[in-house]
Structure 1
C-alpha cells in the first residue's frame, strides 16, 4: 500500500481502444492507474452492425476489463460514470465516488449527433454500443415475426421497411447486412413473407456514400448495395421522423417502422472542462502532445480529442487507428516524463464491407474491391479483436455463414422485469 502511495496516479476515463490500450502501456514502476468506465467490458465498435444483424453474438466482440487487467498489478478498474472534473483540485467525480488524480486522461469517445432534432433520440435506433446493437437486433427480428402474422398488406410493408440514415461505413455496413437478409435469408427462414415486401433504404445527405473514402470506393459500395436490392438515396437530407413517416428536404416521404440513425457523432465533454477548451463537434482541443489546452495534467485522446495540424486542419478522423496511435505515444511520453515527441498520424487506410465478397478498401498504396477487399477487411478485424477465444469464435461464425448463409443467432431475447429493490 505504501508503494502505491509513492507512485503517481493516472486516471483514465473510457475503456475503448484509446483508454484500454493506454492503461496496458503505462510503466508500473512509475505509475498506478485507475481505469473508469460505465461498462465492465471493452467492445469492438466496427462490428456492432454484425450484432444487430445476427451475424455475431455479443460476447464475440466484447472482452471483460478485469480478465485482462488481472495481469496488470498496477491497474485498477472502477465501474462508474464520470460526471465532472475539478481541474484545480484534481478530482474526478463519478456516480460511484470521487477519485483524486495526478494525471487525468479523457478517452470518452463520442455519442450520436441528432443535428438539433432531439425528438429523434426517442424514435430512432442507433449503433454506438453493444446494448444498442442488441436492441436493434431484437427490433429487426420482432418486425420479421410480426410481419409473418400480419394480415394487412400495408401494415406488413411498413413493418418491413428499414431506413438507414447516414452513408458512412456503419450505415453502409448495416444496410448491406439487411440487404443480404432480404435477398438470401427471408424466403428460406420466413416463408410467410415475400421478399418484395421488405424494403431497405439508405439515405446520405451528400452526393455520394463513404465521403471519407475514394470516389471509386463510393461508386463500388453503391453498386454492391444495389446488387443486394438496397435503395440508395444521395443528395437529400432527412428533415423529420414522426415514428411513421420519414420526411426529406425535397418533400418526399417514406413510411417505415424502423429508422436506423448513423448520420453523425458529437463529443460529450465532462462538466468542469472550460468552454475555451472545447472545439468543433464538442471535441476537446489538445496540443500536439495530447495535452488539453488551458488545463494542467489533463489529456484527451481518441475520438473526443481535437488536434489540428497541416494535413488535418479540421482534426483527425474519428477512427480506431487514431486512438491506438495516440494511446501509444502518450504512454511513451508519460513513461519517460518528457513531452518531446509530437503526435503525427500515420493513415493506414479505410475499409467497409457490404456483405459477403463485397467490400471496399483504400489502403496507403493500394485500392481493393470485391472479394480481395472482403478478405482483407476480415483479416484486419480479426487481428484487432481482443482475446484469442473471441478471434476463434468470430472466425468460425464468419466461415459458417460464408458457406451456408445460416446464422444460429436470430434469437429474440428481451430482458425481463427486475424485482423491485431499495436504492441506496
Structure 2
C-alpha cells in the first residue's frame, strides 16, 4: 500500500498527471500544509504545443521536456511515483496503479486528453498522431523513411503516395504542422533530396468544418487560409476522411487521396480514469465538475484541465481544452484545497481569457486577444515565439529552443533530420503507450483509380 510513500500527519493530495494543470497545482501547493504526490506514466513534463516542431525536425525532444523530479527539487512536501493509474476506488479513497495502491485524502485528476478517432477503426490502426514525444519522434522517423523509400521506387504511384502528406484537422495543431511541413519542403528537402521531384510532393490539409481555426476570429481564419495558399498547402474544407488503409485516405466510398503519410489532428477526448459512474462522464469522456472543479457527487475528488468538463453560462459546451484553462484552474484549486482544510467555503472558478494564437510558418502567425484585438504576420509570429519561449520549463530548454529557432530562421535549415530509431506502423502505439492492432493489409472494396489531385505550383 502507498508504494513506500512516507507516512505523514498532513492530508495527502494525489495529483494524477503532470501536464500544465498538474504541474501548476503541485507548484502552487509548495507552502501548503499537505503532502503532494504526483503520479504520471512519464518521468518528465512535456510542452505539448511544440510537439509538431519535434515531429518536423525543428526541435529535439529534450528541448520541450523536463524531468519532473528536477522541476520540484527542493520542494519538501513533494513526492513522485512513475506509474499508470488503472482505476479509482472512491469508496476507500484509493487509486490502483501499475506499481501499487496509493491512498489519498484529496484526489486531483489532471490526465489531459487523448486522440479521438470518432470510432473509425482503420484510422485508429493506421494514422499517425502527435499527442506525445514518442508520437512525434515516430512521425519524424516515418516521414524521412518514406522519403528514402521514394528514392528507391520506380513505381510512380507508389512514389506519389510516399511523397504525399495528408494532415486531418484544421485546428491549431493541423495548421501548425502543415505550415512547418511546407517550410521544410521549400527550404530543407531540396538540399537533402535533390534527386526527388519535390514539385510533386503534396501537403493536403483536410478540415470537416467550413473554416480553418474554427474557435478563432474570422480575421484569423481568413489569414490562416491565405498563408496556407501562399505556402502551397492544399486546403480541403467541408471534407471528412472516412477511412484509411492500404495508403489510401478515403473521403467518399470510392474517392481517396493516395498517401503513406496521414497525420490525425482532428479531435480529442478527455483522458478519463475508470472508477466513476456514467453520469459523471460527459459525451466527450471529460469528467463533469462544478465551479470549484469538484467531480460531481464527490467532495474530495477534483478534475482540472482538458479532462474536466466545467459548464458555464458563457460556455455551455464546457471550457476550452487549452493550457491557460488548466493553469488557472490549478491555481484556483490550490486555494480551494487550503480553504477546505480551514473549513472555509471555496469560491467559484472564473476563467480569464488571455487570448489564442497559432503559428503558420516563418513570419506568419495569427493572434486573437480579448475585446476583439487581432493581429497577424511578423508581429504575430514574434508574439507567438515570445509566449512559447517563456512558457517552456527550465532555463536550458529556453536557451536551446531560442538557439535552434534562430539557426533555422537565419539559415533556412533544420539539423535534426535523423532516423535514429526506424519506425513501422506495426510498432504504432496509442496515447497511453499500449500497442495498437497491426496495420490492416486487407484489400478494400473500392474503385482502385484515384481521383485527380492538383499539384501546387
Q: Same fold (TM over 0.5)?
A: yes
Counterpart residue number, 1:374: 381
Task: Kindly indicate whether residue 360 of structure 2 is the aligned counterpart of residue 357 of structure 1.
Answer: no
Question: Which one of the candidate residues 381, 389, 402 is aligned to 1:395?
Answer: 402
Instruction: Let me know the Cα RMSD of the aligned residues.
Output: 1.6
Change (3 A) 1:149 1:251: closer
Q: In the alignment, is the contact (CA less than 8 A) between 1:183 and 1:229 conserved in 2?
A: no
Q: In the alignment, is the contact (CA less than 8 A) between 2:248 and 2:257 conserved in 1?
A: yes
Report the secondary structure of 2:361's partner residue.
Answer: coil
Q: For residue 176 of structure 1, report the CA deviation from its aligned partner.
A: 0.6
After superposition, where does 1:216-255 map in structure 2 within 5 Å? 216-249=219-252, 252-255=255-258
Change (3 A) 1:157 1:23: same
Question: Which one of the candidate residues 66, 69, 78 is aligned to 1:66?
Answer: 69
Counterpart residue number, 2:96: 93
Q: In the alignment, is the contact (CA less than 8 A) between 2:269 and 2:286 conserved in 1?
A: yes
Deviation per CA, 1:75-97: give whole Å up to 9, x if none: 10000000101101000000110
Task: Kindly indicate whether residue 348 of structure 2 is the aligned counterpart of residue 345 of structure 1.
Answer: no
TM-score (norm 1): 0.95
Q: In the alignment, is the contact (CA less than 8 A) between 2:88 and 2:95 conserved in 1?
A: yes
Inter-partner Cα distance in structure 1 for 2:20 and 2:331: 11
Inter-partner Cα distance in structure 2 for 1:174 and 1:186: 16
Question: Which one of the candidate residues 275, 282, 290 is aligned to 2:278?
Answer: 275
Inter-partner Cα distance in structure 1 for 2:202 and 2:377: 24
Counterpart residue number, 1:168: 171
Inter-partner Cα distance in structure 2 for 1:105 and 1:50: 30
Inter-partner Cα distance in structure 1 for 2:270 and 2:336: 25
After superposition, where does 1:23-62 map in structure 2 within 5 Å? 23-62=26-65
Report the secondary structure of 1:282's partner residue.
Answer: coil
Task: Kindly indicate whether residue 14 of structure 2 is the aligned counterpart of residue 11 of structure 1.
Answer: yes
Change (3 A) 1:162 1:285: same
Q: For residue 216 of structure 1, report the CA deviation from its aligned partner.
A: 1.1
Q: For residue 181 of structure 1, report the CA deviation from its aligned partner.
A: 1.3
Give structure 2 stretches of 5+ with no counterpart.
424-457
Give runs of ≥4 in structure 1 deviating > 6 Å.
none
Q: In the alignment, is the contact (CA less than 8 A) between 2:187 and 2:413 conserved in 1?
A: no
Q: In the alignment, is the contact (CA less than 8 A) between 1:87 and 1:296 conserved in 2?
A: no
Counterpart residue number, 1:420: none
Inter-partner Cα distance in structure 1 for 2:278 and 2:224: 40
Inter-partner Cα distance in structure 1 for 2:156 and 2:5: 72
Number of residue pairs aligned between Structure 1 and Structure 2 = 416
